[in-house]
Chain A
């Protein structure tokens, strides 16, 4: 059980300046109740990533997603617009869609066959007024469509605000959009099945975020990365209240001797050697480079178990799906997978460490850990501190 009185005091300690602050209390990593609290205040109460546009590429595609207990449905309608609805029939609450599939026509509830258009409108209510009478004055289709969930899409990532009362999506995403304005309006192309993988890790979701925020661990955990990217070549990225991470000044992919992915056209020169890696709170970790983009969606399965969904995107259809780039795409996916796998022992080790009875959340290096503290501070604020 979470002790709310001591939690409040612990969260206040997190909100101190980085040099004095403690990390988030261990109860937020080791207790099932913590995830319930975070579901309300963080995942459902704000914007969070639940999937990708590429999951429903064609009109009529639908994919059910259970997001921390909430059954949601990602649907691409006939005009190509992507919507998210609650995956539940407005009649008696039957789950509508059990597995990803394409709908040529309406979505029919398997219980009493009420039918919904792909844009969520209630299209048919068979026998609602008695046998063969398919309308009834008390059931108004205009007010009985699928319940829409607030949705925003950026860089193919699908974000939802389940509670419906977070700030407008455009305002929420604006700071990162502005930071990466050089990439604004570009089409990114998913690299297909070989550019998509998942990692199951036995840790709390927050540990994945905080590890990703910082470059401090690179020389110790990723010696391969560090061979072309020294600690000195990294800088912090800090935007209180939304994201933090790190950038490199020496991005120089060496996947092949004689072949490289095409870059986005006409990028400013700084991106020749720069790349940035950002944790967008709460649950997506993204990486931008002149020649590719990736996103890692964290799916919190339990307080001590997280699934990382990794998706890689390229700058053109040819780079993303062309046979000529298949080997390079495979090398890139393999390289990133190795890097992300290298992090697993750390995040799982911190999960185990969080059971030490006297561990107080830890201290921060005000020089190296400020992006991590910024995330802890954000969590504490969202939980009401």
Chain B
């Protein structure tokens, strides 16, 4: 079941600055459907992508880069 955006936001804040890049990346991706505009989605995707890069997850990086390219973010 999809979580409330406030819950996602709370977890993002709790993990901010911490070492769990994989989780941060996943949270930004989870927030995506809650974003009403393309610009806001692209913003979330950018963060999901950066934390996937930090984590070093090649498959996720590839997928997110494709999505970003599609939205004009790369």
Contacts and interface: CB of A to CB of B under 8 A. Distances in A.
B48 to A, nearest CB: 11
Nearest to A108: B54
How many chain A residues sit at the interface, stated as a range, is 10 to 19
Interface in A86-103: 103
B69 to A, nearest CB: 10
A115 B46 contact: no
Interface string B14-55: 000000010000000000000000011111011101101111
A115 B53 contact: yes
A131 B44 CA distance: 10
A126 B21 contact: no
Interface string A70-97: 0000000000000000000000000000
A249 B39 CA distance: 76
Contacts of A105: 21, 52-57
Contacts of B73: 132-134
Given A105-B21, A124-B49, A131 B54 contact: no
Nearest to A118: B56
A154 to B, nearest CB: 31
A301 interface: no
A186 interface: no
Contacts, number: 54
A297 to B, nearest CB: 30
Nearest to A115: B53
Given A105-B21, A124-B49, A126-B47, A134 B54 contact: no
Nearest to B39: A132
Given A105-B21, A126-B46, A134 B53 contact: no
Contacts of A135: 74
A104 B50 CA distance: 13
A239 interface: no
B46 to A, nearest CB: 5
A133 B53 contact: no
B54 A132 contact: no
A124 B41 CA distance: 18
Contacts of B43: 127, 131-132
A105 B57 CA distance: 7
A127 B46 contact: yes
B68 interface: yes
A163 interface: no
A115 B54 contact: yes
Chain A CB within 10 Å — which of B40, B43, B47, B54 has the most? B54
Rank and list the top 4 A-B pairs by shortest CB-CB distance, nearest first: A105-B56, A132-B42, A104-B56, A132-B43
Interface of A: 103-106, 108, 113, 115, 123-124, 126-127, 131-135
13 contacts: A104-B54, A105-B21, A105-B54, A105-B55, A106-B54, A113-B50, A123-B53, A131-B43, A132-B39, A132-B40, A132-B45, A133-B72, A133-B73
